[in-house]
Amino acid sequence: MKPEILFIHSAGPQGQYEGSDFLISYIRKALGRNYSIHSPIMPHTENPHYEEWKEKLKREFNSLGDELILIGHSLGGSVLLKYLSESSQSKHMHGLFLVAAPYWGKQGWDVNEFVLQNDFASQLNDISNIHLYHSKDDEVVDASHIRYYSQQFPRATVHEVNHRGHLFSKGIPELIIDIQNL
């Protein structure tokens, strides 16, 4: 059976050549047919609300197998973190890969519905492979956000890269290697 990947995209437009489309297309091409990649359309991407995304995640988790690889891009990454840290899971998470995820609660990023609980990282101890990716030239989510996450996850592998922007439209070779090395 192929390893299953659940990819949760960013907020905003999600059509062809918009939002996370570049990144998910890159991942599909780079990993090929060796992985089963699920990338559901999340609700109200132009005006997202955590409760709606949470319900969608619950349905997605219930429809997938017992062993998963999780990738979240931007809002998708922070929503995955919130969901995983606030709900019990019977699934085995082989890896959690966060790309340009905003750290809600930081000044300017204080939308209460997305803010993580103070002890969120301790709720994710069962996930042994956590990887964080952020571009130093991200024009949407400042690269300082990865430093907040790395403080919460001192065992995480941190990738601060150059010249990839927020959308990572040219891909993330480091992500592909990390997934293949699980």
Tell me the pTM: 0.96
Query: What is the structure's pLDDT at 141?
Result: 96
C-alpha 21/C-alpha 45 separation (Å) is: 13
Instruction: Give the domain ranges of the chain.
Output: 27-74+91-180
| Phi, psi torsion values for 174, nearest 5 degrees | -60, -40
Query: What is the structure's pLDDT at 120?
Result: 94
CATH, domain 27-74+91-180, list 3.40.50.1820, 3.40.50.1000, 3.30.360.10, 3.40.50.300: 3.40.50.1820
C-alpha 30/C-alpha 160 separation (Å) is: 20
Query: What is the structure's pLDDT at 42?
Result: 97
Query: What is the structure's pLDDT at 180?
Result: 97
Query: What is the structure's pLDDT at 105?
Result: 87
Query: What is the structure's pLDDT at 21?
Result: 96
pLDDT along the chain (182 residues), means of 10: 95 93 97 96 96 97 95 98 92 96 86 92 93 97 94 94 94 97 95
Tokens of 67: 């062993």
Query: What is the structure's pLDDT at 108?
Result: 72
